Amino acid sequence: MHTSLKKAPVIGIDFGTTNSSIALVDGQGPVQLVSFPSLDASTTSFRSVLYLEKLASAAGVRRVHSLTGPSAIRRYLEADEKGRLIQSLKSHLSSRSLTGTEIFGRRHQLEDLIARMLKDLRKQAEEQFGQPIRAAVAGRPVHFVGAETAEDDDFAVSRLRAAFLEAGFERVDFEYEPVAAAWAYESTLERNELILIGDFGGGTSDFSLLRVGPEVRKRGRTPQDLLGNSGVGLAGDAFDARIIRKLVSPELGSNTEIVSFKKRLPAVPAWIYANLERWHYLSFLRTNNVREILKTARAQALEPEKIEALISGLSTAPGGAEGEVRVVAWDRGGVSLPRRQHGSAHSRHARRV
């Protein structure tokens, strides 16, 4: 009597700078993706964001409450008093100087914040698949954002591994993200091929050159099948920043000038617009110092209405308050502009993008 051996289910996790996903493969059917509740229905794409806010309990004690993924975005948009929305945490893993951040008076390590997201990914998968999850295969960039040496990449991997363990995983094996993409492509092939795989993420762009195909699967993969791989810390976040710089910032006064002693000078310091391009730096622009700089610039600028648009946007961005339009097409963030400004800017430049 022939008895078939059932392969043990394997959990795969793509923890990305912008979006994450988690899947199960059991060798008996198609890959099963975890679904997450979103604003309208459900999605298999989990936004890699963390939202923290202080809420009062029944006894009147204010405690920190945290949400991740689509739930975090929904709560952030609904909240009257905005908390702290944190994005692109993966981009900081290689940095030895950035160990954590202070939120509501408490210090949080970077690994703790990432673990909070990974824990929700794991719990949602356990609920959908009906089984405990303690091990996973996870993707990793060839080179992490900011990594200049192999030691920097190793440091980033060690921090990511620590976050997985803190999130309740007992074992995690890492695979290069473009290599993982190659295996998915290989499953569709009927003949061997030499392929170049590009993985364009939010924080990194990775490339691998390797041999794939049915004969490779049959004989078993060897290190020689991977001919080379490399990556750069330049990807979707940088593309978004370029859009902000070329299309949005000019509408907010980046090219606006003042006249001083018969000389034309920039109305607003360039570092303000540089911070506008980096989503995790937006909170640094919502300070009294920046407000005073912008008010002075508005009073002297040749185009004060553009400076006013910047002031108005920073007073609520990122958000979705009434009377504003949130740019949701840029999937790694968004800049809220007053409706009268955003409408004209978007329609005027849309064809150029």
- Chain centre to alpha carbon of residue 83: 18
Q: How many distinct structural domains can be found in the chain?
A: 3
Residues 34 and 63 in one domain: yes
Q: Residue 31 CB: number of other CB atoms within 10 A?
A: 12
Residues 104 and 244 in one domain: no
- Dihedrals φ, ψ of 332, to 5°? -105, 15
Both tokens of 336, joined, read 């809220």
Instruction: Please report the pLDDT score of residue 235 as a whole number.
Output: 82
Instruction: Please report the pLDDT score of residue 35 as a whole number.
Output: 93
Residues 195 and 117 in one domain: no
Instruction: Please report the pLDDT score of residue 279 as a whole number.
Output: 64
Kindly give the parts of the chain with pLDDT less than 70. 1-8, 39, 279-280, 283, 316-353
Residues 78 and 216 in one domain: no
Instruction: Please report the pLDDT score of residue 1 as a whole number.
Output: 40
Exposed / middle / buried, residue 7 (Cβ in 10 Å: 0-12, 13-18, 19+): exposed
8 A C-beta contact, residue 48 and residue 17 = yes
Residues 220 and 246 in one domain: no
Residues 86 and 161 in one domain: yes
Looking at the whole model, is its pTM more than 0.95? no
Residue 183 resides in a domain = no
Bridge pairing between strands 46-47 and 84-87 = unpaired
Instruction: Please report the pLDDT score of residue 178 as a whole number.
Output: 83
Instruction: Please report the pLDDT score of residue 88 as a whole number.
Output: 86
- Chain centre to alpha carbon of residue 58: 34
Strand partners, 24: 11, 32
8 A C-beta contact, residue 179 and residue 226 = yes
Task: Determine the residue type at 242.
Answer: R
Residues 248 and 110 in one domain: no
Residue 4 resides in a domain = no
Residues 144 and 220 in one domain: no
Nearest Cα residue to 222 out of 214, 233, 210: 210
- Dihedrals φ, ψ of 112, to 5°? -65, -40
- Dihedrals φ, ψ of 96, to 5°? -80, -20
How far is residue 334's CA from residue 87's CA, in Å, rounded to a whole number? 12
8 A C-beta contact, residue 340 and residue 312 = no
Residue 38 resides in a domain = yes
Both tokens of 342, joined, read 């955003």
How far is residue 266's CA from residue 308's CA, in Å, rounded to a whole number? 15
Please provide the DSSP assignment of 249-280 as one string.
GGGGTTT-EEEETTEEEESS-HHHHHHHTSGG
Residues 73 and 150 in one domain: yes
Task: Please report, in angstroms and rounded to a whole number, the separation of the first and last CA atoms in the chain.
Answer: 64
Average pLDDT, the chain: 82
How far is residue 322's CA from residue 334's CA, in Å, rounded to a whole number? 16
Residues 242 and 213 in one domain: no
> Residue 266's domain spans which residues?
237-352
